[in-house]
Amino acid sequence: MKKSGWLLLFKLALTILSLWIIYKQVIEKENFADVIRDAKQLANDNDALLLLIISLFLMVINWSIEAVKWKFLVSKIVAISFLQSLNAVLSGVTLSFFTPNRMGEFAGRILHLPYGTRIRATFATLIGNAAQLVITIGAGVASAGFIMNFIELDVRINLLIIAAIFIINIILLLIYFNISILDKWLLKIKLMHKYADHIHALSGYSKTELAKVLLLSFTRYFVFATQYVLILQMMNVDADLADLYFAVAAVFLIITVIPTIALTELTVRGSVAVSIISIVSNNKLGILEAAFIVWFINLVIPSVLGSFTLLTLKLARQK
């Protein structure tokens, strides 16, 4: 068999293995039929189907924004189309499904790039992830104000918390907009000297370009949060809209800082969501169902699509 034949066989095996693992871990392990039955019972009004359609549309918007962001970041290294970027992002979702804290996302993306650009693109990807982390932590810390509404605290403590929120967000922004400092720190390590040209990717973006990446990250975050709120409403989790947004921000923050693998993430998501969102609603089953639907729409469906994008990989030969 020719090398191209073996490569095609390898990619087919990888795709089938990914689909099989997703099926075993989601459809069977999570009692998929029971979850769907409970969701149908909770979503018994006429708006439920419309909310589900909107949520699916927001999933497409969510990952499209990420594809635009990644395309912009790697454009300084190699020119790719939006479709190539989207395929790479979806492949990253698939590989991240089986790795702690989605570390496989890097590998899934850069495999779609020419061999000589991959290390540098990894550092560019790091900037995009840092921007998303700044938004997630910033919004999550700000959600402390939401928690304060349900806890009786001294006025001075409230003021301290507000001041801490402000200071933390300022520090996060300062670190992000000076991420080029990481370039210098890494190059102080002898082992990193041979990667100097690649590491310089961290200092290759202007403040304006970093601001654009941050804005795209914020837009994506808002789309994701809105989708979560809509699904909570679909599951009849009744609460003020502002309270739901703040609660979702707190959930995102906690999920981000807890080490997980996407295959086991649902258990963590469910328990965190119930702990936080039940502060404003007693519908714990609805909160659990919403956590599953959000996880399924935003991770499982893209992972399935990403498993097929692996077939489009053209693995470059090492020079």
One DSSP character per residue, 155-198 reads HHHHHHHHHHHHHHHHHHHHHHHTTHHHHHHHHTSGGGGGGHHH
Lowest mean pLDDT among 11-15, 93-97, 135-139, 145-149: 11-15
More confident residue, 252 or 143: 252
Q: What is the dihedral of CA 146, 149, 152, 157, to 10 degrees?
A: 50
pLDDT at 319: 39
Whether pLDDT at 9 is above 60: yes
pLDDT at 228: 95
Q: How far is CA 135 from the centre of its chain?
A: 12
**Mean per-residue pLDDT, 216-242:** 93
Whether pLDDT at 239 is above 70: yes
Whether pLDDT at 226 is above 90: yes
pLDDT > 90 fraction of the chain, expressed in percent and rounded? 21
pTM of the model: 0.82
Contact 100, 259 (CB under 8 A): yes
Q: How confident is the prediction for the chain on average, in pLDDT?
A: 79
Structure token pair of residue 155: 């006025």
Lowest mean pLDDT among 236-245, 258-267, 289-298: 258-267
H helical segments located in the chain: 3-22, 32-42, 47-74, 82-96, 104-110, 118-142, 144-148, 155-177, 180-187, 196-199, 207-234, 241-257, 262-277, 284-295, 301-309
* Segment of 55-59, 250-254, 280-284 carrying the highest mean pLDDT: 55-59
Whether pLDDT at 167 is above 80: yes
pLDDT at 23: 63
Contact 219, 65 (CB under 8 A): yes
Contact 41, 303 (CB under 8 A): no
pLDDT > 70 fraction of the chain, expressed in percent and rounded? 69
More confident residue, 264 or 52: 52
CA angle 244, 249, 250 (to 5 degrees): 100
**Mean per-residue pLDDT, 174-180:** 81
Whether pLDDT at 289 is above 70: yes
Contact 159, 144 (CB under 8 A): no
Q: What is the dihedral of CA 161, 167, 170, 172, to 10 degrees?
A: -80
More confident residue, 216 or 313: 216
* Segment of 30-44, 57-71, 85-99, 286-300 carrying the highest mean pLDDT: 57-71
pLDDT at 222: 96
pLDDT at 111: 83
Which residue type is seen at 38? D
User: In 3D, which of 244, 280, 249, 252 has the Cα closest to residue 268?
Assistant: 252
What pLDDT digit, counting tens, does each position of 28-80 carry? 555 555 556 656 666 666 677 888 889 999 999 999 999 999 999 999 888 99
pLDDT at 318: 40
Whether pLDDT at 145 is above 50: yes
Structure token pair of residue 284: 């714990």
Whether pLDDT at 22 is above 70: no
